Chains A and B, each alone.
Chain A
């Protein structure tokens, strides 16, 4: 059998693919963070909580309204987005003129409160959520058995990520958005309703997290701590990619997922730290991140 660094090719390829699955989640979450940071200058520490609430949304819809996965995939992110609107209009709005630190503290506090409420209500063991019927089963790829659902996760997240990138970088709406980022006062003078755009951007960013949460719910137990486990890594991804860089966060998310996956084969004990080691190296060499611009 062909081997790469002493690992059978088969195992190597399958780990690569699994890394890509995890990378898809990193990409979606860091994309939301990047969009929010780009326009609002807010380091959204509550992002993991919105991810968790997206997953809980799916579970609650199924449990109490009998609505299946496909409805949840649409409704849950919308609900999370609406909550985002509420948060932005009632709290974040007052912080834009202040230092980054205040936004970080507020969203961090918000994350603790929301997570505490869910923990109080649902405990930490989590709730089970089944894979939808359509995506049950697995496909034999020759080198591994890939559950259909995981393949769907990669496809769905790639579509969403690149659609977002396209809208922001290639359309008129995106142009307004970027103009609003560069110079809000001037953009407003041209008749663009910047405050509303800011609200909607935040809502979109957290809805993206909610969407990732729904995608994750059949894979891992729907659990109040699930956001906590992933968000720190996602922040590292954003820092490596460069704060606010759209394409950077997508590509970094995917590639770090793959690197982490490979670490799990070569030296599993380091799999939880490898992302941070890379972060430290990137910060030393390119403080603005791989895709970021020095300001």
Chain B
């Protein structure tokens, strides 16, 4: 009899145990799988890996460390992967992360082709992508979806900043040197629109393959066009080699280059003698003020280089994501997005930051000019601030949005 009772109690205890355990879970907040995982997907080895790459992983980790390593009692983890600038590789990795590794949010995702493909996966899996690295405006227009936030910059903002400034100072005929994929096309067409709207003219363009080995041939075509401005609608190593070849062929004597997406790591690599005087639009400059310098110095201690806009953006995105989970009390993607739309997202990266209806994060952008060698006083002292472009003007107005989510 006694033995029977004991067995019953034991059996009962076992039967109840899962319930008790299940009840313990909500105590850790409404966190799916009991862990918050952030996936940093970037180009870890190719031509863009200095803009994002390992630096983005470090930036995300810094945000987690600064936040406190847990949110609503659940652990925060970072995973990372290399998409090799291949949309399919990237999208497959993101799918695997969401399906099998309990990843809740992916960030960085530079390269527009990868960004667009990964955004579709995020939407399908009801998880979040906070895209920092990709530039194409398609992310908040044709390809916009409730689970994709476009965080740092886009081709409209770049075109609007640099294009407008150059046309206004007399650079009214343009020839484009364009990287032949989603990003390059988007940057070219956005800039061409700005140039035309400001009273300039586009006289031609040439499309080069991504990661081209030699640019002299394309630049010669730009030279023959006699346009005043050669707009470089490319990025990373392609921009660097275009600028180098343009100097070599003496194109910069009669024509000016407009780097439409230039990162500080590119300037560092080119050297000021080659890059001086160039106008560019950036979303972050490490030497802007004390707050930026504070982040930059911590980053520098780990990476031995100053953070690019993407690195600072990944930090800010990760931080805001964790804060929104904390405030919303859940890691449900749409609840987190709704929380961020309530406001209070501004930080050193997002000045006057606001998450718009179309999931475009807007914030102040900066028109910069590259310093001359003689003006540069210390390492990485590269830019002079020419103008701050207010958040409300920097990005494509909502009225022009082609995003189906927007009710007009």
Identify the A interface with B (CB < 8 A): 8, 10-11, 14-15, 18-19, 21-22, 116, 119, 123-128, 131, 138, 144-145, 147, 149-150, 219-221, 223, 225-226, 229-230, 233, 261, 264-265, 268-269, 271-272
Contact = CB atoms under 8 A, between A and B. Distances in A.
A176 B245 CA distance: 43
Contacts of A271: 208-209, 212, 217
B240 interface: yes
B218 interface: yes
B330 interface: no
Interface in B205-254: 206-209, 211-214, 216-218, 220-221, 224, 236-237, 240-241, 244-245, 248-250
A124 B249 contact: no
8 contacts: A11-B220, A19-B217, A125-B265, A128-B274, A147-B249, A219-B248, A261-B217, A265-B221
B249 A221 contact: no
A272 B220 contact: no
Nearest to A119: B45
A14 B211 CA distance: 23
A91 B213 CA distance: 31
Contacts of A145: 249-250
A221 B240 CA distance: 7
A130 to B, nearest CB: 9
B46 A125 contact: no
Nearest to B205: A268
A126 B209 contact: no
B305 interface: yes
A219 B265 CA distance: 19
Nearest to B269: A125
B189 to A, nearest CB: 16
B207 A125 contact: no
A137 B292 CA distance: 41
A125 B217 contact: no
B206 A268 contact: yes
B50 interface: yes
A15 B220 contact: yes
A145 B270 CA distance: 23
Nearest to B220: A14
What are the 4 A-B residue pairs with the smallest beta carbon separation, nearest first? A125-B269, A272-B209, A264-B217, A125-B50
A268 B240 contact: no
Nearest to A149: B248
